[in-house]
């Protein structure tokens, strides 16, 4: 069998015709905030506004559109941490096929519920994507169904590559294009289109450091939580990707917060890695840059955690401990002083048991809403001036 080399520009253009009417042509926004922070013009390709909330719908619709009626009747099978599963489920519903989706046991419930709502049979198998993948392949063989790989499929890659065609039209001045990399299908498809039409464009792929060798084995960027790109995508990336960099979860978290606060865009961890790499100064080069925000399906509980952590790191939350006399009115006195100082108290916790304090005192942990790190320092100094001992928790 001939070695697969990835889709051609003609394949990607044909995919664009097939998915028209199903997938959206997503907008691109010039960002004043990220341009200022990075010192270069920055545009954001908002694929988080795509149907099902991520780019995966492009490849899924393209793949299922090429199946015969008989193949669709036998059903389709996919393995996914979330976005690919949603996309295959949605495409199957639209094109008249049954879908069975295998997901890791800790897959985000937001994405799992979405796949179910699109009519798919969702099955939990294994702790990692690779285990779900093995189970899905075995099931597909036994059921006579078509297995739809998330990235090791030229037809799927061609569908993702339609973003590259849009970028050529929407960001003609971009000298660098930044693309998330998990399994590599998104970057392989986009870069193939870009390099064919604009050979001088520089393509930078971004991975999550937590999933790489020596990493923690975990990342909040669950959409790209793949140990390495596939064999097919690796061959493609070796010819069309100019550089590959990695970002940490801390950097991804900061990017998510800034995208929400400044750009008003809800972006999941995988979708935010390009902005994280920009802010960390890892992209290299100069001049205009276009960043693909690949998805927006972040679990609400994770978003809350990320926002609280990000705001704390930015000095917008101050958590501290102090002590007051264990007498009526003492806590109200402290809170009154803070209110008079224009400090917003978010939460109050009493600690009496399990701490080494005098019997006539109680420990109080306060979470305060502050403006910036300088304001945090002012609040601590002011409380100490009132006679309170202060221990900063974070």
Alpha-carbon separation of residue 309 from 213, 217, 264, 331 (angstroms): 26, 21, 18, 27
Quick: pLDDT tens for 146-180.
Answer: 999 999 999 999 999 999 999 999 999 999 999 99
Q: What is the DSSP letter of 128?
A: S
Mean pLDDT of 366-384: 90
Q: In the prediction, which pLDDT does 135 show?
A: 95
Residue 314, pLDDT > 50, answer yes
Minimal CA–CA distance to 294: which of 247, 256, 261? 256
Query: What 3-state class would DSSP assign to 249?
Result: helix
For 267, the enclosing helix (H) or strand (E) is none
Share of the chain above pLDDT 90, in %: 71
Q: What is the mean pLDDT of the chain?
A: 92
Residue 2, pLDDT > 60, answer no
Quick: pLDDT tens for 106-124.
Answer: 877 877 888 999 999 999 9
For 180, the enclosing helix (H) or strand (E) is strand 176-180
Say how many residues make up the chain. Answer: 394
Residues 66, 200: Cα–Cα separation, whole Å: 32
Apex 287 CA angle, 209 and 310, nearest 5: 40
Q: In the prediction, which pLDDT does 353 show?
A: 66
Q: Please enumerate in sequence order all residues whose Cβ is within 8 A of that of 23, keeping only pairs 6 or more positions apart, or say none.
A: 50, 51, 57, 58, 61, 159, 162
Which of 213-227, 272-286, 319-333 is the least confident region?
A: 213-227
Residues 131, 136: Cα–Cα separation, whole Å: 9
Q: What are phi and psi of 257, to 5 degrees?
A: -65, -45
Minimal CA–CA distance to 284: which of 44, 38, 45? 38
Domains of the chain: 9-51+155-309 (3.40.50.1100), 56-150 (3.40.50.1100), 316-392 (3.30.70.260)
Q: Terminal CA-to-CA distance of the chain, rounded, Å? A: 59
Mean pLDDT of 11-35: 97
Q: In the prediction, which pLDDT does 51 show?
A: 94
Quick: pLDDT tens for 61-93.
Answer: 999 999 999 999 999 999 986 889 999 999 999
Residues 115, 82: Cα–Cα separation, whole Å: 8
**What are the beta bridge partners of residue 117?**
none
Model pTM greater than 0.85? yes
Mean pLDDT of 231-252: 95
Mean pLDDT of 338-344: 86
Residues 168, 112: Cα–Cα separation, whole Å: 33
Residues 171, 291: Cα–Cα separation, whole Å: 10
Residue 216, pLDDT > 50, answer yes
Pairing of strands 391-392, 28-30: unpaired
Q: In the prediction, which pLDDT does 279 show?
A: 96
Q: In the prediction, which pLDDT does 354 show?
A: 61
Residue 269, pLDDT > 90, answer yes
Residue 1, pLDDT > 60, answer no
Residues 48, 295: Cα–Cα separation, whole Å: 4
Question: How confident is residue 217, by pLDDT bands cut at 50, 70 and 90?
Answer: confident
Q: Please enumerate in sequence order all residues whose Cβ is within 8 A of that of 212, keeping only pairs 6 or more positions apart, or say none.
A: 246
Mean pLDDT of 48-61: 96
């Amino acid at each position: 069998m001939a070695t697969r080399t990835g889709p051609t520009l003609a394949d990607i253009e044909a995919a664009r015709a097939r998915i028209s009417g199903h997938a959206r042509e997503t907008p691109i926004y010039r960002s004043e905030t990220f341009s200022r922070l990075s010192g270069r013009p920055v545009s954001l390709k908002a694929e988080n506004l795509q149907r099902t909330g991520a780019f995966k719908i492009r490849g899924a619709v393209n793949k299922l559109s090429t199946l015969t009626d008989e193949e669709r009747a036998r059903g389709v099978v996919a393995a996914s941490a979330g976005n690919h599963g949603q996309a295959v489920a949605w495409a199957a519903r639209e094109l008249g096929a049954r879908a069975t989706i295998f997901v890791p046991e800790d897959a985000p419930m937001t994405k799992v519920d979405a796949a179910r709502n699109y009519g798919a049979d969702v099955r939990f198998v294994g702790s990692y994507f690779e285990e779900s993948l093995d189970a899905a392949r075995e099931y597909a063989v036994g059921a006579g169904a078509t297995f739809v790989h998330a990235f090791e499929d030229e037809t799927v890659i061609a569908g993702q590559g339609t973003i590259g065609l849009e970028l050529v039209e929407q960001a003609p001045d971009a000298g660098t294009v930044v693309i998330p990399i998990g399994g590599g299908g998104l970057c392989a498809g986009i870069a193939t289109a870009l390099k064919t039409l604009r050979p001088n464009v520089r393509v930078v792929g971004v991975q999550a450091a937590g999933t790489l060798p020596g990493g923690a084995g975990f990342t909040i960027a669950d959409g790209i939580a793949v140990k390495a790109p596939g064999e097919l995508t690796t061959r493609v990336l070796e010819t069309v990707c100019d550089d590959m960099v990695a970002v940490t979860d801390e950097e991804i978290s900061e990017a998510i917060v800034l995208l929400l606060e400044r750009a008003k865009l809800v972006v999941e961890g995988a979708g935010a890695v390009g902005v994280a790499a920009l802010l960390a100064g890892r992209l290299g080069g100069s001049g205009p840059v276009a960043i693909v925000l690949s998805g927006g399906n972040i679990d609400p509980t994770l978003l809350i955690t990320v926002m609280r952590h990000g705001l704390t790191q930015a000095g917008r939350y101050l958590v501290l401990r102090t002590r007051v006399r264990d007498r009526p009115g003492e806590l109200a006195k402290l809170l009154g002083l803070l209110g008079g100082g224009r400090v917003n108290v978010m939460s109050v916790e009493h600690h009496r048991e399990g701490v080494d304090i005098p019997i006539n005192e109680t420990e109080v942990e306060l979470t305060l809403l502050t403006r910036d790190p300088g304001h945090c320092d002012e609040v601590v100094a002011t409380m100490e001036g009132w006679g309170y001992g202060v221990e900063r928790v974070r």
